Amino acid sequence: MYFLSQIKPDDVGLIRILQTETPSSFRLICFPESAHSTAYYLSLSELLLPTVEVLAIQYPLYAGYEEGDDDRLTDSPELADRIFGALGEWMDRPFAFFGHRVGADLAYRVAERLERETGAALMTLFVSGRTAHWGMSLGPPALGCRIVALAAEGDPKTPLRGVRAWRRRTSGRFDLEVFPGSRGYLDSSRREVVNLVHDQLLSQVPVDAEWETGAEDKGA
């Protein structure tokens, strides 16, 4: 089940996906493709190790963010600001972002602001089913964290050339994972996606790392 903490229709908040009572070592903060698609991350969390706590961003449901207007999510600096403000209390352990389709654009914008204003770097920014399509800025890449791009081999709306352009968004490592089929790989290749998340997070853990997994549990 998942738990939604008193989020009003015009609010931005985080849905905490409840998996087990085992304290987590990592947080995977998910940026869905729309305000109506957060439930997918319940099935994703059921396959992840209990050391990975899954949170999903709940977008506002007021006019302008209704179904069919999802691309407008990425055109709102205010929305990125509100998500940035909502994340503060959840940054007490290593974390990664997972953005799907338009959610990938938002995840990138929030990650950029996190690094610029707080110096906090993600473990990994996962960008799924999205090309790096907006205008390139001059100068060095905005991010220093690892970016992992996911794409379908036969998706006509997400050509691999555009997906590879994400490598220019970071000075860190870039990986591209291509799945068979068109646009449904988050369902048809769900276990492979989960394995990819595990591999990417665990590969960045120092051998002698010891995080406080017994920290006070955060209620939503």
Q: Give residue-wise pLDDT tens across range 85-130.
A: 888 878 888 999 999 998 999 999 999 999 999 988 899 999 999 9
DSSP 3-state assignment of 141? Answer: coil
- Block residue for tokens 């068979």: 180
Residue 84 tokens read as 């940035």
Instruction: In whole angstroms, give the CA distance from residue 4 to residue 139.
Output: 41
User: Is 100:126 a contact under the CB 8 Å cutoff?
Assistant: no
Residue 10 has pLDDT above 90, yes or no: no
Per cent of the chain over pLDDT 90 is 36
Using CA atoms, how far apart are residues 141 and 152, in angstroms rounded to an integer?
25
CA pair distance 59, 21, nearest whole angstrom = 26
d(CA 71, CA 130): 12
**Mean pLDDT on 18-27:** 72
CATH superfamily, with its number, for domain 2-202: Alpha/Beta hydrolase fold, catalytic domain (3.40.50.1820)
d(CA 220, CA 212): 20
Kindly give the interhelix angle for 40-47 and 190-202, rounded to the nearest 10 degrees: 60
Q: Where are the domains of the chain?
A: 2-202
Work out the average pLDDT over 140-152: 93
Q: What is the mean pLDDT of the chain?
A: 79
What is the model's pLDDT at position 7? 42
Whether the model clears a pTM of 0.75, i.e. scores above it, the answer is yes
Interacting residues of 138 by C-beta distance below 8 A, sequence separation 6+: none
